[in-house]
Amino acid sequence: MGGGVRRLLNCYYSLLQILLTAMLGLLLVPVTLQIVARYSNVIPRYIWTEEIARFAFVWIIMIGSIIAIRDKSHFIVDVLPEFGRTGRKVLGAITLVTMFLAGAIFTYGGWKFAVFGSIQHSELAGLPMLAIYIAWPVLGVSWLIFTTEQIYDFIRDTGEVAHGTP
């Protein structure tokens, strides 16, 4: 993988990190508004705050999961004994291929899911539901991209495969 591609991937990863940080910060706002509105008359009691908060939350989970695919911090269970070098290689290859397959399923199924939702609008704020459902194909595609990067590194023998503790 050339330096250019790697740089592009790093940029995407940083963008996701910034988005994730900002979204959790922004998420404080609607919930705080909700409490303030209930106990004072300063601002009206919006009902869309709750829905916006929920949708932002869905995105936080999805973006965080993409990030965890790249930095391999999804939790795994280590029950198999330690293998020799060949055993580790074989197991690593199986893990990566399966993860790639999972990414493909998320892309394909997620796309169908998003298309199915593209005619719906949300109940309270009237947002197009596509804005949320699209998170699944985005997750799938990002997953494929980062797993491809890991497969590349694996073939070049530079990366660790296993996910672990964050």
Partner 1 sequence: MGPLEAGLLLFGVFGVLVLIRIPVSVALGLASVPIFLIHDRLSITLLFTEMFRAYNSFLLLAVPFFLLAANLMNAAGITDRMIRLCRALVGWMPGGLGHVNVSVSMLFAGISGSSTADAAGIGSLMIPAMEKEGYDTPVSVAITACSSVMGVIIPPSVLMIVWGGVMSVSIGGLFLAGVIPGILIGGSMMVAVYIYALKRGYPRYPFPTVREVVASFLSSFFALMTPVLIVGGIVGGYFTPTEASVIAVLYSMILGLFVYRNLGFKKLPGVFYESARFAAIALFAVGTASAFSFLLAFFQVPKALVSMFADLSMGSVQTALVVAGCFLVIGMFIDAIPAIIILGTVLWPVAETAGMHPIHFAIIGIVSLAFGLVTPPYGLCLLISCSIGKIRVIDALRDTTIILFPMLIVLLGIVLLPELVLWLPRLLMPHFN
Residues near partner 1 (CB under 8 A): 17, 20-21, 23-25, 27-28, 31-32, 34-35, 50, 53-55, 57-58, 60-65, 67-68, 73-80, 91, 94-95, 98-99, 101-102, 105, 108-110, 112-113, 116, 132-133, 136, 161-163, 165-166
Give the Cα separation of 105 and 107 in Å (integer): 5
**Given the complex with partner 1, which of 9 and 91 has the nearer CB atom?**
91
Contact 34, 50 (CB under 8 A): yes
**Given the complex with partner 1, which of 5 and 105 has the nearer CB atom?**
105
Compute the C-alpha angle 120/47/60, nearest 5°: 65
How far does CA 115 lie from the centroid of its chain?
19
Give the Cα separation of 157 and 29 in Å (integer): 46
Amino acid code (one letter) for 90:
V
Cβ 6 to partner 1, closest distance in Å?
A: 22
Cβ 50 to partner 1, closest distance in Å?
A: 6
143 burial level (CB within 10 Å; 0-12, 13-18, 19+)? buried
Cβ 4 to partner 1, closest distance in Å?
A: 26
**Given the complex with partner 1, which of 9 and 60 has the nearer CB atom?**
60
